[in-house]
Amino acid sequence: NAGVTQTPKFRILKIGQSMTLQCTQDMNHNYMYWYRQDPGMGLKLIYYSVGAGITDKGEVPNGYNVSRSTTEDFPLRLELAAPSQTSVYFCASRPPPTGNKNIQYFGAGTRLSVL
Amino acid sequence: GDSVTQMEGPVTLSEEAFLTINCTYTATGYPSLFWYVQYPGEGLQLLLKATKADDKGSNKGFEATYRKETTSFHLEKGSVQVSDSAVYFCALVPPGGSYIPTFGRGTSLIVHP
């Protein structure tokens, strides 16, 4: 089972460049999330989606955009990369909150450096 | 708002030592509580969970008990191994079907042979 797949695993950007971090899941989960993880700071939610065509901002959305055209895919777009966006980015998904199914499934992460 | 507080790391132990990582939370009602583990270079994965007061979650020798009276969910293991070296995250999901979890900052565990 593939689960949540993120690409690329590593990327170096120059200031002002743009890129898209890809995330796809094969579990038919409605809910998907993007987090960033800075050293010693835990996870911060950037954007989330509760289904195709529906997205909403998390705690730290500035400088990022998302789209959700299908259930499987939830790409994260950086338009004008800045050094402050150097981080490790994680995509996650989860099934709808039926019963006790509140478990999130994470991808392996994308390590991004902006120089 | 909801919050999760974990003890600062790193926690450094010798193999076979007893492990406790403290986690306390602030939330309304009875949230679901989780421990996730992140091994080096990987994403987070669920370690264990508990969904109501006095529940005990357990997995791979790790245990945590949902204590409503102290709003805590401390992670314990009787005898750690080098392979347990990782970062551990405590998290909560509020009751009522919310889809936004709250994570603690994570506690790094280093186990020496």
Q: Cβ distance B108 to B10 under 8 Å?
A: yes
- Residue A51: predicted pLDDT: 92
pLDDT at residue A100 above 60? Answer: no
Looking at residue A73, the DSSP 8-state letter turns out to be: B
- Please, are residues B99 and A94 in contact by the beta-carbon 8 Å criterion? yes
Q: What six digits make up the tokens of B70?
A: 């102290």
Q: What pLDDT is stored for residue B86 in this prediction?
A: 96
CB pair distance less than 8 Å for A42 and B106: yes
Chain A 59-88, CB below 8 Å of chain B: which residues?
none
Q: What pLDDT, on a 0 to 100 scale, did the predictor assign at position B95?
A: 82
What share of chain A has pLDDT > 70, as a percent? 95
How many angstroms from the chain centroid is the CA of residue B112?
21
Q: Report the residue of chain A nearest B42, measured CA to CA.
A: A108
Beta carbons of A87 and A110 less than 8 angstroms apart: no
Overall average pLDDT of the B56-80 stretch: 97
Chain A contact present for B24, CB below 8 A: no
- The per-residue pLDDT for A15 is 97
pLDDT at position A39 is 80
Whether B99 sits inside 8 A of A97 (CB atoms) is yes
pLDDT (average), residues A4-29: 96
How deeply is B2 buried, as exposed, middle or buried, from its count of CB atoms within 10 A (0-12, 13-18, 19+)? middle
Provide CB contacts within 8 A for A83, sequence distance 6+.
Answer: A15, A114, A115
Strands A87-94 and A76-78: unpaired
Instruction: Note whether A111 and A8 are within 8 A (CB).
Output: no
pLDDT of residue A69: 96
Question: Using CA atoms, how far apart are residues A69 and B62, in angstroms rounded to an integer?
Answer: 40
Residue A2: pLDDT band with limits 50, 70, 90: confident
Q: Does A31 touch chain B (CB under 8 A)?
A: yes
- B20 pLDDT exceeds 60? yes
Among the partner residues B97, B105, B106, nearest to A97 by beta-carbon distance: B97
* Whole-number pLDDT of residue A7: 96
Q: Mean pLDDT across chain A, nearest whole number?
A: 92
Spatial neighbors of B71 by CB under 8 A, at least 6 apart, are: B24, B25, B26, B27
* pLDDT classification of A88: cutoffs 50, 70, 90: very high
**CA dist., res. A42 & res. B8, Å (int):** 12
Model confidence at A99: pLDDT above 70: no
DSSP annotation of B76? E
Kindly indicate the confidence band of residue B100, based on its pLDDT and cuts at 50, 70 and 90: confident
* Model pLDDT, residue A82: 96
pLDDT per residue as tens digits for the range B24-51: 999 988 899 999 999 988 899 999 999 9
* Rounded Cα distance, B63 and A104, in Å: 19
